[in-house]
Amino acid sequence: MTPREAIAGAVERLRDAGVASPEHDAAALLAHVLGMPRGRLTLVDSVPEPAAVEFEGLVQRRASREPLQHLTGLAAFRHVELAVGPGVFVPRPETELLAGWAVEQAQALAAPVVVDLCTGSGAIARAVRDECPEAEVHAVELGDDAFRWAQVNLSGCDVDLRHGDFATAFDDLLGTVDVVVSNPPYIPLEAWESVAREARDHDPHLALFSGADGLDAIRGIADRAAALLRPGGVVGVEHADVQGESAPAVFVAQGSWEEVRDHRDLNDRPRFVTARRTVRGAENPE
């Protein structure tokens, strides 16, 4: 069996199963079992029998809507690769824009202090450290399983990783942070049925759902970031595409913020909100 034949059969099965990107996923799985980049598949004449058997098993699992990244064990995020699997939220491409914003904010400063709340796999913290090595980066994660994945991904990166609740984390950094960034849970509990099976069945619910309107965690971040940031420091928080008005409204209502602005993703959908910590009233952030 040639790679072309193997991929063609897999694409048909994945498409029938409702997988959103069957061509990409089939090629990625075949490249994974052959131990090569996808771009080199055209150089392979035939798929060895052991690899074909492994590929068949992975295609079957993907057709049952197990996340591609769980099958390969890796997720690409900006310029780094992250180890992922059961128990941790798989980072999405949309979040790379928020991470890029955090990198730009950090790079504009000589010795920035950056805090990543709800770090999950450690994706944003790792990206900031990778692209802004002069930054002092801190991260926190509440979930036990996710914390262990973050430990793997941030090992040797000189990131201060802590296990705990973002709402009470980093008392030692109050009023000293330059950039707070977060991809928190933001899905309303009532939206359960609308969530893709890959996320609903495999991502930890702690990383997905956040109260009746999906804004509970964002409200908490608006409060905690106000306490952590120095006057003039900035915060960036991802949200659902239907929260392009409600998420910024959280920061406006909180009262510690100015320059509240929403940002759109590459598909022109509302994706993350940013704000600057006001100087006036900074002595009483909470």
Binned at pLDDT 50, 70 and 90, residue 149 comes out as very high
Read off the pLDDT of residues 123-147 as tens digits, 9 standing for 90 and up. Answer: 999 999 999 999 999 999 999 999 9
**153 known ligand binder:** no
Cα gap 166→141, rounded to integer Å: 7
Binned at pLDDT 50, 70 and 90, residue 212 comes out as confident
Confidence (pLDDT) at 283: 47
Cα gap 161→150, rounded to integer Å: 8
Torsion angle defined by CA atoms of residues 13, 15, 19 and 22, in that order, rounded to the nearest 10 degrees: 90
Read off the pLDDT of residues 35-58 as tens digits, 9 standing for 90 and up. Answer: 998 889 988 889 999 999 999 999
Neighbours of 190 (CB within 10 A): 11
Q: Which of 3, 5, 16 is nearest to 64 (CA)?
A: 16
User: Does the pLDDT at position 215 exceed 60?
Assistant: yes
- Taking the CA atoms of 192, 198, 202 and 203 in sequence, report the sign of the dihedral they define: negative
**184 known ligand binder:** yes
**186 known ligand binder:** yes
Confidence (pLDDT) at 193: 66
- Overall residue count recorded for the chain in this entry: 286
Confidence (pLDDT) at 286: 46
Give strand pairing partners of 175.
none
**91 known ligand binder:** no
**37 known ligand binder:** no
Q: What is the mean pLDDT of residues 241-251?
A: 95
User: Does the pLDDT at position 218 exceed 90?
Assistant: yes
Torsion angle defined by CA atoms of residues 57, 63, 64 and 65, in that order, rounded to the nearest 10 degrees: 120
Read off the pLDDT of residues 70-83 as tens digits, 9 standing for 90 and up. Answer: 999 999 999 999 99
User: Does the pLDDT at position 28 exceed 50?
Assistant: yes
Q: What is the mean pLDDT of residues 143-159?
A: 96
Binned at pLDDT 50, 70 and 90, residue 198 comes out as confident
Confidence (pLDDT) at 261: 97
Cα gap 149→87, rounded to integer Å: 8
**66 known ligand binder:** no
> To the nearest whole number, what is the mean pLDDT of the chain?
93
Cα gap 189→208, rounded to integer Å: 9
Binned at pLDDT 50, 70 and 90, residue 285 comes out as very low
Q: Which of 220, 231, 279, 228 is nearest to 254 (CA)?
A: 220
Q: How far is CA 24 from CA 43, 48, 63, 173, 213, in A?
A: 18, 21, 13, 43, 34
